[in-house]
């Protein structure tokens, strides 16, 4: 099927931002297919990627090493990557045909319950942080926790510190109460960089309409992921399922508050990848970090390409969404929110 009218040109001119992809991006340095993967990243059309560093439970030392590897990748390939230090770096990457890397955390283990480490890690370039992974931390409840667990006093202190330093608060892995209380506590726009919509499919990692509206009311943005949690666990999600969540978020939040955070495998998935992911998912279930329904490879079979966001743009245009809305979803909304949080410098 040929692209929708204007789809190719729109994607080429847009600032395309994936708010959750290529975790521990520095690992690419030790990839046997490094040259191929660097070419695929360049050809993806993406201008900015938020990369998770430190994993789901990284120690202080492990996380510092992960940050160092990401920095080494940037230093080794300055023609392709640049590190986001301030808001203008994303537009700069677009102008120069590079990919801006936004350093981020999904876990809090590397903080070791020390709020002052937010300052330290910001100094190392981390610009987005969370309050918990799937299980509770000293800062708040995780998405797999009892609904009664909310934001702790230490969590409120952490949010105040993030706000003061210009570190974005990400509530993707928080449970409903911590999400709601985190949104209320934040003085800068809170983010949900990667989630789905509970109204489309009920799952602990998906967000309810009340949370989504509250986020939008605070100027925040929700990024829709391409994880298996978009659908029931007896089938693999497809692009149509993804668009259903994206359109629901647009209806609830409005066109200025929805983006993309795929959280899926970036490079084309083959049978070997599926076998390896099956082993990883089993280990995550054994360790207690996996979520219900985490029994399928995180990808969309009919969008199995590094240019998957071009397919999203094409699908939205075909369904009648205005070009300005598509550009906002592709990256402009997250770019605006990051500017509001970090400052426009």
Q: What is the pLDDT of residues 65-104, one digit of tens each?
A: 999 999 999 999 999 999 999 999 999 999 999 999 999 9
DSSP, res 199:
T
Contact by Cβ (8 Å): 171, 132: no
Q: What is the pLDDT of residues 221-255, one digit of tens each?
A: 999 999 999 999 999 999 999 999 999 999 999 99
Question: What pLDDT band is residue 312 in, cutting at 50, 70 and 90?
Answer: very high
**pLDDT (mean) for 33-61:** 98
Determine the pLDDT at residue 169. 98
State how far the Cα of 54 lies from the Cα of 60, in Å rounded to an integer: 8
State how far the Cα of 115 lies from the Cα of 313, in Å rounded to an integer: 40
Mean pLDDT value across the chain: 96
Determine the pLDDT at residue 71. 98
Whether residue 344 has pLDDT greater than 70: no
Token pair 């330290």 in the structure block, residue:
120
State how far the Cα of 247 lies from the Cα of 264, in Å rounded to an integer: 19
DSSP three-state, residue 192: strand
Q: Name every residue whose Cβ is closer than 8 Å to that of residue 281 and which is 6 or more positions away in sequence.
A: 290, 294, 295
Determine the pLDDT at residue 285. 80
Determine the pLDDT at residue 186. 98
Determine the pLDDT at residue 105. 98
Contact by Cβ (8 Å): 328, 250: no
Element (H, E) at 203: none
Determine the pLDDT at residue 292. 82
State how far the Cα of 220 lies from the Cα of 15, in Å rounded to an integer: 18
Element (H, E) at 284: helix 271-287
Q: What is the pLDDT of residues 98-152, one digit of tens each?
A: 999 999 999 999 999 999 999 999 999 999 999 999 999 999 999 998 888 999 9
**Range of lowest pLDDT (142-151, 260-269, 302-311):** 142-151
Whether residue 345 has pLDDT greater than 70: no
Determine the pLDDT at residue 241. 98
Q: What is the pLDDT of residues 171-180, one digit of tens each?
A: 999 999 999 9
Contact by Cβ (8 Å): 175, 149: yes
């Amino acid at each position: 099927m040929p692209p929708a009218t204007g789809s190719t040109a729109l994607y080429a001119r847009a600032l395309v931002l994936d708010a959750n992809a290529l975790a521990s991006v520095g690992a690419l340095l030790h990839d046997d297919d490094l040259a191929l993967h660097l070419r695929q990243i360049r050809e993806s059309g993406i201008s900015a990627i938020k990369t998770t560093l430190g994993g789901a439970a990284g120690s202080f030392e492990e996380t510092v090493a992960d940050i160092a590897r990401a920095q080494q990748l940037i230093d080794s390939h300055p023609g392709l990557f640049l590190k986001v230090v301030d808001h203008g770096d994303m537009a700069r990457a677009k102008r120069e045909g590079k990919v801006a890397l936004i350093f981020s955390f999904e876990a809090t283990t590397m903080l070791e319950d020390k709020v002052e480490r937010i300052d330290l890690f910001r100094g190392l370039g981390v610009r987005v942080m969370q309050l918990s992974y799937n299980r509770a931390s000293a800062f708040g409840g995780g998405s797999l926790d009892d609904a009664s667990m909310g934001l702790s006093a230490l969590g409120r202190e952490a949010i105040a510190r993030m706000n003061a330093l210009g570190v974005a608060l990400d509530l993707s892995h928080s449970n409903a109460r911590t999400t709601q209380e985190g949104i209320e506590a934040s003085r800068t726009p809170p983010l949900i960089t990667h989630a789905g919509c509970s109204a489309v499919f009920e799952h602990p990692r998906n967000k309810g309409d009340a949370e989504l509206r509250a986020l939008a009311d605070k100027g925040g943005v929700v990024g829709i992921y391409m994880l298996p949690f978009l659908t029931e666990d007896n089938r693999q999600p497809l692009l149509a399922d993804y668009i259903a969540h994206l359109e629901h978020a647009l209806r609830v939040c409005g066109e200025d508050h929805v983006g993309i955070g795929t959280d899926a495998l970036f490079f084309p998935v083959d049978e070997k990848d599926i076998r390896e992911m099956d082993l990883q998912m089993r280990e995550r279930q054994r360790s207690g970090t996996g979520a219900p329904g985490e029994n399928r490879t995180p990808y969309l079979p009919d969008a199995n390409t590094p240019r998957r966001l071009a397919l999203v743009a094409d699908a939205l245009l075909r369904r009648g969404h205005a070009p300005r809305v598509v550009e906002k979803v592709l990256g402009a909304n997250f770019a605006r929110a990051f500017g509001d949080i970090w400052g426009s410098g």
